């Protein structure tokens, strides 16, 4: 179920949002919703990658090497 949120932005931010939305042939609210969802998905991905690296990073480095000097393919 979709939820509605309201946020306030300054005039400069809204003008930029309008420009970007127009470039993407969308209404500003639709464009902002799409960008927010994409940003949240990116944040979830980065948090999961960090958690993976913290949990399995050493084992991965031991198996495949680490850094620019490794010979990992």
pLDDT value of position 65 = 85
Q: At what angle do helices 11-23 and 28-64 cross, to 10 degrees?
A: 80
Local confidence pLDDT in tens for the 73 residues of the chain? 888 899 999 999 999 999 999 999 999 999 999 999 999 999 999 999 999 999 999 998 899 887 766 555 5
d(CA 50, CA 57): 9
What is the reported pLDDT for 46? Answer: 97
Q: Which whole-number Å values give the CA distances from 60 to 24, 64, 69, 71, in the listed order?
A: 41, 6, 15, 13
Torsion angle of the four alpha carbons 16, 22, 28, 33, in this order, in degrees rounded to the nearest 10: -100
The predicted pLDDT at position 50 comes to 95
- Distance (Å, rounded) from C-alpha 57 to C-alpha 52? 7
């Amino acid at each position: 179920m979709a939820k509605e949120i309201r946020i306030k932005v300054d005039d400069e931010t809204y003008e930029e949002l309008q420009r970007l939305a127009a470039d993407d042939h969308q209404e500003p609210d639709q464009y902002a919703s799409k960008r927010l969802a994409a940003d949240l998905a990116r944040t979830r991905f980065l948090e999961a990658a960090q958690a993976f690296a913290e949990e399995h990073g050493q084992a991965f480095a031991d198996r495949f090497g680490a850094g620019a000097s490794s010979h990992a393919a």
